[in-house]
């Protein structure tokens, strides 16, 4: 291992260590990071153009075969899920959902006789203060059971009608 030393200037042959910092490696690292960021920033900024629908409020058509779930958080932090007015846990929710889908398929005489519009939907009413984990779990369970359409029911502000833009 080598060490840079400078002459002491007294001429007696005594040398003292140099206290200057070698900045060349630091500059090299900074230039490499600058190049990486210059390449990475345009990749992060790129977006996909999507034409979103311009409807503020779309009324839901309620069919008798649709499932209404109400979800709220209890005072102790637990999630409460209600199938219509009946409280259910995750297992009961999955079992009810599967039997509901099976009943609808049987009513139409098999999957071949059904269209996408014939499938029942799930309408979720979530309390405003409900954390997302309480709503995400039932959505996943209903999708596992075979429900392909899951919608959220909201209450419009008073005096606001349907506006199409």
* Tens digits of residue pLDDT in 21-38: 888 888 999 999 999 888
Pick from 161, 82, 153: nearest CA to 124: 153
Asked if residue 127 lies in contact with residue 73, where contact means CB atoms within 8 angstroms, the answer is yes
Out of 3.40.50.720, 3.40.50.1220, 3.20.20.140, 3.30.420.270, select the CATH number for domain 67-152: 3.30.420.270
Indicate the pairing of strand 5-7 with strand 15-17.
antiparallel
Closest CA to 154 of 136, 120, 134, 127: 127
State mean pLDDT over 102-107.
88
pTM (predicted TM-score) = 0.58
Among 15, 40, 144, which residue's Cα sits nearest to residue 91?
144
């Amino acid at each position: 291992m080598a060490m840079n030393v400078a002459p002491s200037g007294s001429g007696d042959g005594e040398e003292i260590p140099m206290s200057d910092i070698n900045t060349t490696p630091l500059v090299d690292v900074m230039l490499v990071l600058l190049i990486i960021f210059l390449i990475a920033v345009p990749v992060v900024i790129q977006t996909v153009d999507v034409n979103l629908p311009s409807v503020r409020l779309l009324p839901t058509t309620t069919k008798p075969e649709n499932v209404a779930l109400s979800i709220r958080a209890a005072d102790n932090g637990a999630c409460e899920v209600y199938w219509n007015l009946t409280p259910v846990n995750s297992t009961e929710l999955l079992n009810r959902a599967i039997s509901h889908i099976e009943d609808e398929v049987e009513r139409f005489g098999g999957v071949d006789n059904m269209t996408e519009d014939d499938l029942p939907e799930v309408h979720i009413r979530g309390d405003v203060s409900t954390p997302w984990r309480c709503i995400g779990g039932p959505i996943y369970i209903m999708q596992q059971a075979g429900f392909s359409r899951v919608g959220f029911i909201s209450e419009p502000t008073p005096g606001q009608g349907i506006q199409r833009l």
